[in-house]
């Protein structure tokens, strides 16, 4: 393929513009639907091509100027060049197409897209670290479009404070360490009142490196942890770094305490909005029994417990289950109980699965909940709220709930948990008489 002028006709699931030439699809990063562009060859494949955007000849009315100087080189964001409202509309189209194509279902009504602040939202994540011989220094950031490389970042507009301005200081810190070549990743996490960094290291750290890390921790008022092996090896650098992280939800009535490597929703503002919407859709009543599947730390379970007679949270990670139970005790919610179970295995003989439930909330990982839907929901369940991080698995499971279990897909919509990325977070309500 040589240089070509073409029209962009669609947006792909990963945020690239879609063009066609000689019957073949061409993906163009940085191009938007409705634009006339000039593109050059990048990579050829059997069924599609990838092209480089050389010039936008006729820009879309929805094109935005990316505020981040690293947009285009960093692979962390794919849609900063598209206005926020248009990003949400594109994500809703992806969800609708998946429902129709995979699940063969259509919602009776679409929920208004749920959004919060589009910048400085990311409170948890993982940064890549690499000593680059050619540059003679360490890079700390997200991966580039080519995942073999780490983007050379000075700041990040989507990271929550204080992480947004710590990338360059972190690179300088690692550069000063004797173990600079043995640190592949840095995890970051913050609660409402404190922030934490966790350094993965492949070799033991000497006293001098530990002292440098401690000085950085003190200078930036941020707790520092180390991880030399698997998750169980994570530990605070010093005793003073062991302070707990926590966040408040449900009008600050509930406090969730978590460990550095625990799963939490990365977007605090959207988590609060999502919880309010999920509770509104589920509408738990004081006499009802509710089952919360893939419950994690109790992010949904504990707010439900304030409204229902009984709630049971089921989760596969025993550590999360223990901390969820601790959170229930800490918040004086004696009607919440928790069970450890692999929800991708057959659990139909488990006592909690054989009980009668009025309503179910589930928030599975990307793979969805296909195995569960072989034996749940039981006959007593009249309402299911499904929170999803993957539109394809939600659409597949929606088809199962409608066609096999007799539910109606009453409502569905997208939630902008990851603004400026192509990630589609969504929620759906299922009901039956």
Residues classed as catalytic: 389
Which phi and psi angles does 373 have, rounded to 5°?
A: -75, 0
Backbone angles phi, psi at 241, to 5 degrees: -85, 0
**What angle is formed at CA 194 by the lines to CA 306 and CA 234, rounded to 5 degrees?**
95
Distance, in Å, from the CA atom of 196 to the CA atom of 255, rounded to the nearest integer, reads 18
From the centroid of its chain, how far is CA 181? 29
Residues 6+ apart with CB under 8 A from 23: none
Cβ within 8 Å of residue 129, ≥6 positions away? 138, 139, 140, 150, 174, 183, 184, 185, 186
Integer Cα distance of 241 and 221 in angstroms: 10
- What residues have CB less than 8 Å from 352, skipping those under 6 apart? 291, 312, 314, 339, 341
DSSP state of 165: G
CA distance 140 to 153: 7
Q: Judge contact between 73 and 142, C-beta under 8 A.
A: no
Where is 427: in which H helix or E strand? strand 425-431
CA distance 305 to 311: 6
């Amino acid at each position: 393929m040589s240089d070509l002028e073409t029209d962009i006709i669609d947006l792909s699931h990963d945020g690239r513009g879609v063009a066609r030439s000689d019957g073949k699809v061409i993906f163009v990063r940085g191009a938007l639907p409705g634009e006339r562009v000039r593109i050059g060859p990048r990579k050829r494949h059997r069924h599609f091509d990838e092209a480089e955007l050389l010039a936008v000849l006729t820009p879309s009315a929805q094109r935005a100027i990316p505020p981040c100087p690293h947009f285009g080189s960093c692979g962390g964001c794919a849609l900063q060049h598209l206005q926020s409202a248009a990003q949400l509309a594109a994500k809703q189209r992806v969800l609708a197409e998946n429902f129709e194509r995979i699940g063969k279902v259509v919602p009776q009504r679409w929920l208004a897209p749920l959004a919060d602040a589009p910048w400085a939202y990311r409170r948890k994540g993982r940064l890549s670290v690499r000593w680059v011989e050619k540059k003679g220094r360490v890079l700390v950031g997200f991966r580039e479009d080519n995942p073999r490389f780490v983007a050379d970042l000075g700041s990040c507009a989507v990271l929550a404070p204080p992480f947004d301005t710590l990338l360059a200081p972190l690179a300088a810190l690692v550069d000063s360490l004797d173990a600079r070549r043995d640190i592949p990743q840095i995890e970051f996490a913050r609660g409402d009142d404190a922030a934490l960094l966790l350094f993965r290291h492949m070799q033991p750290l000497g006293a001098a490196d530990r002292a440098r890390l401690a000085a950085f921790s003190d200078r930036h008022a941020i707790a520092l942890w180390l991880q030399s092996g698997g998750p169980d090896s994570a530990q605070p650098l010093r005793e003073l770094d062991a302070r707990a992280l926590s966040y408040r939800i449900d009008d600050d009535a509930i406090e969730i305490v978590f460990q550095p490597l625990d799963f939490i929703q990365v977007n605090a503002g959207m988590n609060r909005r999502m919880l309010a919407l999920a509770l509104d859709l589920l509408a738990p009543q004081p006499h009802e029994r509710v089952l919360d599947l893939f419950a994690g730390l109790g992010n949904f379970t504990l707010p439900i417990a304030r409204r229902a007679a009984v709630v049971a949270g089921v989760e596969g990670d025993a550590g999360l289950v223990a901390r969820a139970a601790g959170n229930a005790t800490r918040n004086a919610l004696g009607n919440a109980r928790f069970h450890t179970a692999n929800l991708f295995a057959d659990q139909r003989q488990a006592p909690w699965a054989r009980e009668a439930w009025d309503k179910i909330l589930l928030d599975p990982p990307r793979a969805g909940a296909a195995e569960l839907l072989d034996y749940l929901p039981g006959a007593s369940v009249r309402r299911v709220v499904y929170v999803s991080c993957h539109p394809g698995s939600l659409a597949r499971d929606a088809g199962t709930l409608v066609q096999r279990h007799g539910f109606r897909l009453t409502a569905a919509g997208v939630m902008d948990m990851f603004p400026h990325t192509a990630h589609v977070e969504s929620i759906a309500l299922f009901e039956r008489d």
